[in-house]
């Protein structure tokens, strides 16, 4: 795209449970922009692989499924071949499975253009692991939202407990650390902040405060 501002993108990356999805949705709503939850696409790909009986570590097998993924979004609902899988893909098991398939280069390549197709007028807020570095390298604003593993684990714990699930804080913390290690060490599109200026630490800040900071950064980026 010749002029990135014609259809601007705000790319919000960060580790698991950093709150990037919540922040991205709030920012998109404030600006009247479209929203892309790239993680949902990988979760659906992982679910499709499981349903097909494919090995989640077989890059080519999962990529073949990803290329013809019968995926659809309707508001906040996610559908796989017409089946509402919104709640299923949000489970901890599918979150872990998505982290595995997302580390496979063939899968990332297969889903690249699918993610870029979400860029539509008047603009897009996209959250994920490599929105700024790979999917939308010309994003008008790039944010790397983070918090310590302990804080993120506590947030996830409260979220799951609020849903009536019996979970272990220690297990969640270990799982987050495992995912962080996998995401930062993968060969393709590793999780990282492109610049120190992109980092936004959400610890000690409310959702509203973080959203306000992102919106302020966006306005400054347009100047």
Would residue 173 be called left, alpha or beta, if left means φ above 0 and alpha means ψ between -120 and 50 degrees? alpha
Residues 150 and 46 in one domain: no
Residues 114 and 181 in one domain: no
Q: Domain with 68 in it: what CATH number?
A: 3.40.50.300
Tell me the whole-structure pTM to 2 decimals: 0.88
> What domain range includes position 45?
37-121
Name the average pLDDT for the chain: 93
Taking the C-alpha atoms of residue 211 and residue 25, their distance in angstroms, rounded to an integer, is: 10
| 213: its two tokens | 């900071």
pLDDT digits (tens, 9 = 90+) for 111-134: 999 999 999 999 999 999 999 999
* Number of domains present in the structure of the chain: 2
User: CB within 8 A of 146, min separation 6: which ones?
Assistant: 14, 15, 18, 193, 199, 200, 201, 202
CB 61 within 8 A of CB 54: yes
pLDDT digits (tens, 9 = 90+) for 175-195: 999 989 988 988 778 888 999
Residue 102: which of 135, 76, 72, 71 has the closest Cα? 135
Q: Is residue 69 part of a domain?
A: yes
pLDDT digits (tens, 9 = 90+) for 130-179: 999 999 999 999 999 999 999 999 999 998 899 888 889 999 999 999 98
Residues 51 and 103 in one domain: yes
């Amino acid at each position: 795209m010749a002029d990135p501002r014609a259809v601007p993108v705000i790319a919000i990356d960060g580790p698991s449970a950093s709150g990037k999805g919540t922040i991205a949705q709030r920012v998109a709503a404030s600006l009247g922009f479209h929203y892309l939850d790239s993680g949902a696409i990988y979760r659906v790909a992982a679910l499709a692989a499981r349903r097909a009986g494919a090995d989640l570590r077989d890059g080519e097998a999962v990529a073949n499924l990803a290329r013809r993924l019968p995926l659809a979004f309707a508001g906040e609902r996610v559908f796989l071949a017409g089946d509402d899988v919104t709640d299923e893909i949000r489970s901890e098991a599918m979150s872990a499975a998505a982290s595995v398939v997302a580390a496979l280069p063939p899968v990332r390549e297969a889903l690249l253009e699918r993610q870029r197709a979400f860029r539509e007028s008047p603009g897009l807020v996209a959250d994920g692991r490599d929105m700024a570095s790979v999917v939308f390298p010309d994003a008008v604003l790039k944010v790397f939202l983070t918090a310590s593993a302990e804080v993120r684990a506590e947030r996830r714990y409260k979220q799951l407990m609020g849903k009536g699930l019996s979970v272990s804080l220690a297990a969640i913390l270990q799982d987050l650390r495992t995912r962080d290690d996998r995401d930062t060490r993968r060969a393709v599109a590793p999780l990282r902040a492109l610049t120190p200026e992109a980092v936004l630490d959400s610890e000690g800040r409310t959702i509203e405060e973080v959203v306000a900071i992102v919106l302020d950064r966006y306005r400054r980026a347009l100047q």
